[in-house]
Amino acid sequence: MMPRWVRILLTVLAAMIGGYAGLIIVGGGAAGVAWIFLFGDDPWPRWSEIAIPLVALAGAIAGAASFGLAAWRAFDKAKS
């Protein structure tokens, strides 16, 4: 049986990996879509400097929550 602190540590590690992956994928995707389909090489509006990092942050939170929850449930299932 795995000690609780190891489960918590591994869950936090999984959440950190998921958060970073969500940040890179969603943030890069938002910037790519904005560049290719919306603004291109023209000057970008001021609000895009706020919107793209907020979208990336939302992706990071979603990735961290999903990876952390999946890891915690996997450890719960392995325990029983």
Calculate Rg over the CA atoms of the chain: 17
Q: Which two tokens stand for residue 60?
A: 């990071």
> Can you give the residue range of the structural domain that contains 33?
11-79
Structural domain contains residue 5: no
CB 19 within 8 A of CB 61: yes
pLDDT 10s digits, 17-75? 999 999 999 999 999 999 999 999 999 999 999 999 999 999 999 999 999 999 999 98
Q: Which two tokens stand for residue 25?
A: 């994928």
**What is the domain count for the chain?**
1
Whole-prediction pTM? 0.86
Q: What is the pLDDT of residue 78?
A: 81
Task: Band the pLDDT of 80: cuts 50, 70, 90.
Answer: low
| Angle between the N-to-C axes of helices 48-79 and 4-33, in degrees from 0 to 180, rounded to the nearest 10 | 150
Residue 77 has pLDDT above 90, yes or no: no
Structural domain contains residue 3: no
